[in-house]
Amino acid sequence: MSTDSNCIFCKIVAGAIPSKKAYEDAELLVFHDINPWAPVHVLIVPKRHIASLADTGVADEALLGRMLALAPRLMQQLGVANGFRVVVNTGRDGGQEVDHLHVHVMGGPRPWTRG
Ligand code: AMP
Ligand code: ZN
């Protein structure tokens, strides 16, 4: 599997940096954001290192579909009942700070810290 030894999310996938896990399967890991914008804020990441959404192609369609389809199931499991926000920051101007593809999923009662 493709990993980047300098990548913080690859280190989380490898267990070298701890995280609060919400879901895991062969391809995906979900953990709680360390600096949450909302009462529930998780990050869905592929275990394989992909730098950003701009680095995906046709071969990644199934993976991307699985990531998006997981969002409502996770929110239900985490008790989010009244809607949620899905964000994929991409590239510098897109506000991406960690260069490993991740889907933010945020929910829970407002007000939120941000967003
Ligand atoms: P982005 O700006 O879309 O790249 O978002 C990166 C997100 O990763 C931010 O919301 C950070 O709070 C979060 N983050 C960074 N380091 C960690 C970590 N060690 N564990 C959990 N979340 C993290
Ligand atoms: Zn990575």
Residues lower than pLDDT 70 in the chain = none
10, 20, 31, 35: residue to mutate for ligand 1 pocket, most atoms within 8 A of CB: 35
Q: What predicted TM-score, i.e. pTM, was given to this entire model?
A: 0.98
Residue 113: what pLDDT? 96
Closest CA to ligand 1's atom 12 = 35
List the catalytic residue out of 41, 49, 102, 104: 102
Q: For the chain, which domains are there?
A: 8-107 (3.30.428.10)
pLDDT confidence of residue 58 = 98
Q: 3-class secondary structure for the chain?
A: CCCCCCCHHHHHHHCCCCCCEEEECCCEEEEECCCCCCCEEEEEEECCCCCCHHHCCHHHHHHHHHHHHHHHHHHHHCCCCCCEEEECCCCCCCCCCCCCCCEEEEECCCCCCCC
Give me ligand 1 centre to Cα 7, in Å: 12
